Structure 1
């Protein structure tokens, strides 16, 4: 195992809160809105505090690791993702209101897509739990390839797990790394589309250019476009860096689906050692 259970809890809630902040603004162009806190409705007409597929699939990933003694079992993961997509498991109210094209097709066909246009962020958004397990780079790539089997997507997931592990074990984050020229990068140079490279860079940019959890995830949402996933990824990074107590209590108070999160985390804590 890598890191601590407390870091995992902070990452899970950090992702869920970031996701829920971004849901009302998904697909809205940059600077056509201003997110300053938790709200509801908007793009998907969901109540305040509702998280999306990003968090549902992350919880399914974590549950799979627990059930398989922290080993990556891609068939088990696929079945859990299908249970989410088809039956609403891991989804608030049992309702899937948002699912990317690549994820939907790959799960229904039971084979990951590997075309150039299949490099959305649908595996990056769920990959965080693998940083806590002793998953190899090949394991991470295989977990991505359940849906996103192109090298660009698999490499992004593997790189993110490495970044997370540096943060967990060494306390090293992008602003301290010479090969990550993110601090001070102009905002208009940061992409926030659903392309996996955009999400990867945008989330790290938000972490590198802010000083607390709230500022990080709000910066991610306010980049516009794929607001929920950018904020979900930034949220798990910031959750680990700043800890659970740094997540604003007023946001946690209205976060929906906490019973699902606590259920999975309860199983995780029992299986931690």
Structure 2
């Protein structure tokens, strides 16, 4: 799909701004909300990450970006297995791995398939009765880059498929699909429109029944994406989006539970929607408090898709680095290859 220079810049921005938000929020993780007068700065992370070093949020996104850059698709079980195995190797020495994610990755073999991972995720959900952590949403941004020339339904499928490698709960599937669809829309148009993402997720695919499937997503073996969201689900997410888009709302309003994928989604959306620039969006996310690196990484992916890589300050970009030993220039190279 030929992209304009502005569209390509926005695609690269979705990756680099996410990494920047992650690294910027690292030292404030689990801390209180901050006043608007505070200017967040790069520093040593809560778990010991260096200045400008991204955390698990970006580290888990990179294997997804790498397979897309290599020309693979997320429909291929071998590609998903490659992602899972990369995550597992990384988790063995990572400074920080989400509790839910670590539990899944530690329970599967070193040569795990996608089925190993999704089965472990499903069993964990059934055992605990929930699996709605924000660990799937934090890494989902690169998925959109491989699906700019595909249908929204195909992108939503891919987002749900990758989410459920570790997070089985339906909220994860919907949140990741919506975020990826919003990133895709922003890259192609330069606009932020989460309600447009919800509409595209709520409409049945061509040739399929317009009657919604009433089953939870986790019970539909044929697809991770809903064939038209059930009306009650669509209504719920419309209300959640409206809460995050309310005039004057700040990510602080969602900080108490932003380890939950829904509140992380709302906090990140509030950060971007209420911002005047990419820098403002990322800083607002960090000022929200609590899971600052994750919410800022999520917000950064969408803000980067709206404002572009050119809006990332040069001094931010120069400091970015992390697993697996790469920097912002390599992130840009991978992003360009993924959209190519």
**TM-score between the two structures when normalised by the length of structure 2:** 0.70
Query: CA–CA distance in 2 between the matches of 1:270 and 1:68?
Result: 8
Q: Within the alignment, does 1:139 sit opposite 2:158 as a pair?
A: yes
Match of 2:27 among 24, 28, 34: 24
> Which residue does the alignment assign to 2:247?
184
> Which residue does the alignment assign to 1:93?
none
Query: CA–CA distance in 1 between the matches of 2:50 and 2:66?
Result: 26
Match of 2:42 among 39, 42, 50: 39
> Which residue does the alignment assign to 2:106?
108
Query: CA–CA distance in 2 between the matches of 1:269 and 1:215?
Result: 25
Deviant stretches of 4+, over 6 Å: 175-178
> Which residue does the alignment assign to 1:99?
97
2:320–2:328 contact (8 Å) kept in structure 1:
no
Q: Give the superposed CA RMSD.
A: 2.7
Query: CA–CA distance in 2 between the matches of 1:64 and 1:99?
Result: 21
> Which residue does the alignment assign to 1:128?
141
> Which residue does the alignment assign to 2:85?
79
Q: Within the alignment, does 1:208 sit opposite 2:279 as a pair?
A: no
1:60–1:80 contact (8 Å) kept in structure 2:
yes
Task: Rate the CA distance shift 1:211–1:70 in 2: closer, same or farther, 3 A.
Answer: same
**TM-score between the two structures when normalised by the length of structure 1:** 0.86
Match of 1:55 among 54, 58, 62: 58
Query: CA–CA distance in 1 between the matches of 2:286 and 2:339?
Result: 32
CA deviations on 1:98-125 (whole Å, 9 max, x unpaired) are: 1111111111223224244321111111
Unpaired segments ≥5 residues, structure 1: 89-95
> Which residue does the alignment assign to 2:311?
246
Unpaired segments ≥5 residues, structure 2: 108-116, 148-153, 199-237
Report the count of equivalent residues. 265
